[in-house]
Amino acid sequence: MPRPATGPDDLDYRHQGSRVHVAAHQRGADATAIGQLATQIPGFLVSLAVVTAIAVPLFGTALGWLVVLAWLASGALVFHRPTELLFARRVLKLRAPLAEERARLEPVWREVTARAGIEAHTYELMVENSDDLNAVAAAGHVVGVTTYALNRIPSSNLAAVLAHELGHHTGGHAWAGLLGYWYSLPGRIAWALTRGIARIALAVAGVFSLAATGLLVLFMGMFVVAGFVVAWYITIPLVIAPYLLAYAGRLGELRADQQAAALGFAREMAEVLYHFQAEEDAAKAHAAARGRKLKEPGGLARLLSTHPDNPTRLRALEPYLYPSR
């Protein structure tokens, strides 16, 4: 198999061969991460109720509460390296870098972490086989890049992408997002099962009569309304949680961009964003040439988007690109 061509190595290695100052503060939780966790509290309470309602009757009081405590403690697996790597391989479809990939990736990563004062070995570098320019910060210690990012873009742009993902880790965005998702999962599963049962019940009622279907819909509606009224302090936050999480995600992306810029990769981060914008424009032009028009996301879709649009991200980088303004 021929070795893939790599982008030019144009990175300014400021710390190659020199002593690296390691920051005392290696990671934390910024306002975005704390906001993510706070937004997930209603979902966590629902999940706790679901786990308790299943475990205690099924296993008895003593053993059931041990199961609940075990579930509460399971969040620590977000920072357990073997579990993280298993999650990265099985769920995110990441793999360990090949020898030639590691030879390209590690010097760039060491430069990024040296500028940030972060110990490079704190994180696991992984690769995704993909033709898209992308990267991911997962769990507590995983940084993944696509083969496109690794092989097709200049080292300076690759460094900006890695610095962006490092910003997600040092700001706590990656572990907070995964931790919130994990603790809300039982509630999500219970809600999905409830909707499935409701669909089946409506389908069965429809076989018998329209009146039976109407009565069932009325009963379900009254049940939902009663739930909103009785437990409004849980249900209302659950309804608005997806919008707040999406907003926190957009803030997290801007903060990660600014982290890359603060490390000296503002221009390179902008080049990556221009690449994304060019891909979007090319897709629109291709659709127009075929007599179609790509549907623009509506207001609700934009509110639920976890990433700001490229112009917004570029505007946020302007103070780093043009500091004299």
Q: Residue-wise pLDDT tens for the chain (325 aa)?
A: 444 556 788 888 887 765 566 765 667 889 999 999 999 999 999 999 999 999 999 999 999 999 999 999 999 998 899 999 999 999 999 999 999 999 999 999 999 999 999 988 899 999 999 999 999 999 889 999 999 999 999 999 999 999 999 999 999 999 999 999 999 999 999 989 888 887 887 777 777 777 767 776 777 777 777 776 776 677 788 888 899 999 999 999 999 999 999 999 999 999 999 999 998 888 888 777 787 876 777 777 788 898 999 999 999 999 999 876 5
**pLDDT, position 131:** 94
Can you tell me whether residue 25 is helix, strand or coil?
A: coil
Whole-angstrom distance, CA of residue 201 vs CA of residue 197: 6
| pLDDT value, residue 15 | 74
Distance CA 139, CA 168 (A): 10
Output the six-digit token pair for 267.
């221009």
305 CB contacts (<8 Å, ≥6 apart)? 246, 249, 250, 297
User: What is the DSSP secondary-structure string of 56-104?
Assistant: HHHH-HHHHHHHHHHHHHGGGGGG-HHHHHHHHHHTS--BPPPHHHHHH
Cα–Cα distance, 76 to 294 (Å, whole number): 43
Are the CB atoms for 55 and 61 separated by under 8 Å? Answer: no
pLDDT computed for residue 239 by the predictor:
83
What does DSSP assign to residue 171?
Answer: T
Q: Quick one: pLDDT at residue 318?
A: 95
Burial class of 73 by CB neighbour count within 10 A (0 to 12, 13 to 18, 19+): exposed
In this prediction, residue 19 carries a pLDDT of 59
Confidence (pLDDT) at 2: 45
Element containing residue 253 per DSSP (H, E): helix 232-260
| Dist. CA 145–CA 137, nearest whole Å | 9
Residue 1: per-residue pLDDT: 41
Q: Count how many Cα atoms sit within 13 Å of the Cα of residue 24 in the half-sphere of its side chain.
A: 0
Strand 142-146 versus strand 135-138 pairing type: antiparallel
